Amino acid sequence: MRIVILDGYTANPGDLSWDKLKELGECTIYDRTAPDEVLQRAAGAEILLTNKVVLNSETIAALPDLKYIGVLATGYNVVDAVAAKQRGIVVTNIPAYSTPSVGQMVFAHILNITQQVRHYSDEVREGKWGSSPDFCFYDTPLIELLGKKIGIIGLGQTGFNTARIAIGFGMKVWAHTSKSRLQLPPEIKKIEIDQLFHECDIISLHCPLTETTRELINAQHLSLMKPTSILINTGRGGLINEQDLADALNSGKIYAAGLDVLSDEPPRSDSPLLTAKNCFITPHIAWANFEARQRLMQIAVSNVKAFIDGKPVNVVKG
């Protein structure tokens, strides 16, 4: 079978190997593919792998040989799964590969904000500690996590793993989830979303981006939050109205935000969050440590092999 990878660089910038995939067919790998290059590069492919290259209904219709689309990520909104299903094209994703690393990033942001790690590292380099009359130096609030309430929106695998880490810190875990109370362990309390915004000290987003959740974080919900509260987003940038969040940060309606995703990636130069007060942004790297990418590639190859063997797995709904 002819296999084409449209944008393999972020998953494998050179520290991993595509050799196992190459064993399954004639394989062409592109680091990146611009929108106007998709049809030319995908022409004749029976198996097409994409991470962030969009495959809409028009593109799918123009690829008559296509039998399988493998998304090199958990979210598959870059593919028109309905159009693919109508054509009989199997679409798969890669669930759960980044669960540990996303939870790690959530708490990297939380700890950076509550302990001001970057701030104090810079202060020490600038000589502030060296010129202090005391054995220690601090000029910002430092926040203990023990007993704080963390509200988790979306209790899938990444949300649940984040909850487990929070419990380890001695935090009270509240969740807005479609799961019933009987499905939750006693350490996790199910609550309505307005109560979560109103009472939680930290809110972490783990829900999928749908028409229901798009811009869930908006002026209305931000107005319910405490001025000491912290917002974390390692999910999807579109979950947040970015201007509303910037306004809330700049006016002191909430204390800080830690974001690993934005609505435009890379961000526009005029993004209001780039200059917002107490807004800490990492460049969509929660998924990108070596171990997670290694799992991603192993599952991607297994998905392709299962399809070739006539027993597809991790098939998404169209």
Provide the pLDDT for residue 283.
98
Give percent above pLDDT 70 in the chain: 100
pLDDT category of residue 139 using cuts at 50, 70 and 90: very high
Same domain, 187 and 68: no
Confidence at 217, pLDDT banded by 50, 70, 90: very high
Give the confidence band of 89 by pLDDT, cuts at 50, 70, 90.
very high
If asked whether residues 119 and 267 sit together in one domain, one would say: yes
- The mean per-residue pLDDT over the stretch 178-186 comes to 94
Residue with tokens 């297994």: 302
Are 217 and 231 in contact by the 8 Å Cβ rule? The answer is: yes
Instruction: Measure CA 69 to chain center.
Output: 21
If one counts every other C-beta atom within 10 angstroms of the C-beta of residue 200, the result is: 27
Strands 279-281 and 149-153: unpaired
Backbone φ, ψ for residue 136 (5° rounding): -130, 170
Average pLDDT of every residue of the chain: 97
Q: How many residues does the chain have?
A: 318
Q: Are residues 83 and 143 in the same domain?
A: no
Alpha carbon distance 277, 298 (integer Å): 40
Range with lowest mean pLDDT among 87-91, 206-210, 212-216, 241-245: 206-210
Tokens of 269: 């130069």
Do 151 and 71 sit in the same domain of this protein?
no
Asked if residue 212 belongs to a domain, the reply is yes
Q: Which residues does residue 231 pair with via DSSP β-bridges, in sequence order?
A: 203, 257
- pLDDT, tens digit, for every residue of 92-109? 999 999 999 999 999 999
State percent of the chain over pLDDT 90: 98
| Domain identity same for 170 and 134 | yes
Q: Tell me, what CATH number does 172's domain have?
A: 3.40.50.720
Instruction: Report if residue 10 sits inside a domain.
Output: yes
Asked whether the predicted pLDDT for residue 258 surpasses 80, the reply is: yes
| 210 in the same domain as 143 | yes
Q: Is residue 313 domain-resident?
A: no
Arithmetic mean of pLDDT, 280-289: 97
Q: Does residue 314 fall inside a structural domain?
A: no
* 73 lies in the same domain as 179: no
Task: Note the pLDDT of residue 311.
Answer: 98
pLDDT of res. 126: 97
For range 146-163, the mean pLDDT: 97
318 pLDDT band, cuts 50/70/90, is: confident
pLDDT band at residue 196 under the 50/70/90 scheme: very high
Residues 266 and 119 in one domain: yes
Give the model's pLDDT for residue 288. Answer: 96
Q: Model's pTM, two decimal places?
A: 0.93
- Could you tell me if 250 and 161 lie in one domain? yes
Catalytic positions, written as ranges: 236, 265, 284
Distance CA 204, CA 312 (A): 33
Is residue 128 domain-shared with residue 263, that is, in the same domain?
A: yes
Mean pLDDT of 159-187: 97
pLDDT bracket for residue 317 (50, 70, 90): confident
The verdict on 108 and 212 lying in the same domain is yes
- In angstroms, the CA 41 to CA 248 distance is 44
Question: Buried b vs exposed e over 55-65: b needs ≥16 C-beta within 10 Å?
Answer: beeebbeebee
In a domain, 318, yes or no: no
Question: CA 94, CA 314: separation in Å to the nearest integer?
Answer: 7
- Provide the residue range defining the domain that includes 83: 2-97+290-308
The DSSP bridge pattern shows strands 90-92 and 256-259 to be unpaired
- On whether residue 133 sits in a domain, the answer given is yes
Do 36 and 120 fall into the same domain? no
275 domain-assigned: yes
Q: Is 221 domain-assigned? A: yes
* Total domains, the chain: 2
The amino acid sitting at 217 is: I
